[in-house]
Every structure is written in structure tokens, then in C-alpha cells.
Amino acid sequence: AWRTAAFGLYGFTQFTKSGFLEHAKKFREEDMQIRLDGKNCLVTGANSGIGFATAEGLASQLELNFAVNVAATYTLTELVMPLLEKAAADARVITVASGGMYTEPLNKDLQFSEGNFDGTQQYARNKRIQVAFTEWWAEKYKGVGFYSMHPGWADTPGVAKSLPGLSEKLSGNLRTNDEGADTVIWLALQPKEKLSSGAFYFDRAEAPKHLKFAGTAESHSQINSIVDSIRSICGLPAL
């Protein structure tokens, strides 16, 4: 309950349009005036996953939110790694996570088989996993840059459908699509030496991965066993 309350207060001041406009005062125009010739970038984990938060399994019997945000994101990234490692030295992977992950620690119950299913909570758990395996990838693949990020609260059909209360309450103060995508583009353009592989970014700056006193940081020690479980579920060979 404390994590949820702290997240709500933090979100209302930081993740909304007003937060973006305040942070944008420090943005540098020249950061976006960079050519993309020769750059190799994979962007995964987009927030549309919240629209599919449901307990109904896919034909493969995977919980849909887990399938979209974790299984697909992890498998796609692993399968293209040989290409990225052979690509230019500036190759990178950007995973679009969510501030919702602040409310959840890592949890080994990957498909929410225990307790009453909650789509919003499952979404937050999966976004926490994305942030954690971005750290894991950064340690494993030193030649490629790995970054997770939060786009803020944007006025998208997925948010309106899945979180109608939030959408109505913040009507007029949600970010536009362009504002939500700003940091994704910024991360794709910046020289790797200006970024920290494995870090979490928000509004063109490195951001904390955990709220103070939330008790979520210690859970990241579970990432190796969680990766093993994901690989088994996805039919990938054991490491």
C-alpha cells in the first residue's frame, strides 16, 4: 500500500505532461540533431501491453501479459544478439518499461498462477522484470548498450481502456505520443559513452529504479533464476 501511494504521488508530479514540460526546460536541442547512418537499434517492450492484461492464456498456455512483455521481449532480444554483436560498435537495445514497476519487486510467479489475477499488478511485475533483465543483459553483452526507460503517462487508447479512472482524472495533463516517445529517440541518438548500460532512463536522464523504502531493490538478486525460468518457458537452451 505504501509503494502504491508513493508511486501515485511521484507519478502525478513527474510522469504527467506538466512533469514533461518542466523537465524539457533542461533538454538540449542539439541532442536530437544527430544522424542515424550506421546505427543499429532494437526497441522492445512498448507499453501497449497493458491493453492485453488478462488471465486468458494464449494457445501456447502463456498468460498474455507475460507473453507480450516478458517472453516475446526476452526471446526477440536474445535471437538478434548475434546480429547486434556483429553490427557497429554503437549498437544498442532500448526496452520501453513503465513507472508501474515501482510498485512491484521481482516475483518468481511469472504467470500470476498464485492468488487472484490482477492485470495491472501483472503488468507492473512484467515491467519490473524488463528493468532487471536490462541490467542482466548489460553484464552479459559488454559490446552492446542496454537501456530501459519510462515514457511517462501518455494519452493512448491503451491507457484510456485499461485505466479509465486515471485517464479521466488526468484529462488534459497526459503526455502526447511525441512526448512519450522523446526519451526513446534520445536514447537511440546519444553516443554510448554518454549513457550507462543497464540503467533506467526517464525524460532524457538516468532515473532511480526503486522508490525509497519500497523494499524492491533486494529482489533483483533473483534475476538469474528468473532468466532460467523464462528460457525454459520460451524453449531456449539453458545457459
Give the pLDDT mean for 80-91: 89
pLDDT of residue 166 exceeding 60:
yes
The answer to whether the beta carbons of residues 4 and 103 sit under 8 Å apart is: yes
Please tell me the predicted confidence (pLDDT) of residue 172.
86
Q: What is the mean pLDDT of the chain?
A: 87
- How far from 203 is each of 19, 27, 97, CA to CA, in Å? 9, 9, 13
| Cα(68)–Cα(70) distance, integer angstroms | 6
Which residues share a beta bridge with 175?
A: 154
- How far from 206 is each of 107, 129, 200, CA to CA, in Å? 24, 18, 6
Give the pLDDT mean for 35-63: 61
Per-residue confidence band for 61, with pLDDT thresholds at 50, 70 and 90: confident
Query: What's the predicted TM-score (pTM) here?
Result: 0.87
Please tell me the predicted confidence (pLDDT) of residue 48.
54
> Grid coordinates representing 74?
526476452
Side-chain-side CA neighbours of 192 within 13 Å: the count stands at: 19
Task: Residue 202: count other Cβ atoms within 10 Å of its Cβ.
Answer: 21
pLDDT of residue 97 exceeding 70:
yes
pLDDT of residue 49 exceeding 70:
no
**37-41, 82-86, 194-198, range with the lowest pLDDT:** 37-41
pLDDT digits (tens, 9 = 90+) for 214-224: 889 889 999 99
If 0-12 CB within 10 Å is exposed, 13-18 middle and 19+ buried, where does residue 18 land? middle
Q: Per mean pLDDT, which of 50-64, 132-146, 158-172 is the most reliable?
A: 132-146
DSSP state letter for 59? T
**42-46, 101-105, 140-144, range with the lowest pLDDT:** 42-46
Percent of the chain topping pLDDT 90:
58
Per-residue confidence band for 83, with pLDDT thresholds at 50, 70 and 90: very high
Place domain 2-9+40-233 in its CATH homologous superfamily. Answer: NAD(P)-binding Rossmann-like Domain (3.40.50.720)
Please tell me the predicted confidence (pLDDT) of residue 6.
73
> Grid coordinates representing 95?
526496452
Please tell me the predicted confidence (pLDDT) of residue 72.
87
Q: Where are the beta strands (DSSP E) in 97-199?
A: 145-150
> Quick check: helix, strand or coil at residue 25?
helix
Question: In this predicted model, which residue has the larger pLDDT, 60 or 209?
Answer: 209
Residue type at 188 in one-letter notation: A
Please tell me the predicted confidence (pLDDT) of residue 20.
92
The answer to whether the beta carbons of residues 64 and 52 sit under 8 Å apart is: yes
Residue type at 129 in one-letter notation: I
Please tell me the predicted confidence (pLDDT) of residue 60.
59
Residue owning grid cell 506538466: 18
Per-residue confidence band for 45, with pLDDT thresholds at 50, 70 and 90: low
Per-residue confidence band for 51, with pLDDT thresholds at 50, 70 and 90: very low
Please tell me the predicted confidence (pLDDT) of residue 62.
85
DSSP state letter for 173? S
Question: What is the side-by-side strand order in the sheet with 41-44?
Answer: 41-44, 92-96, 145-150, 200-202, 205-207
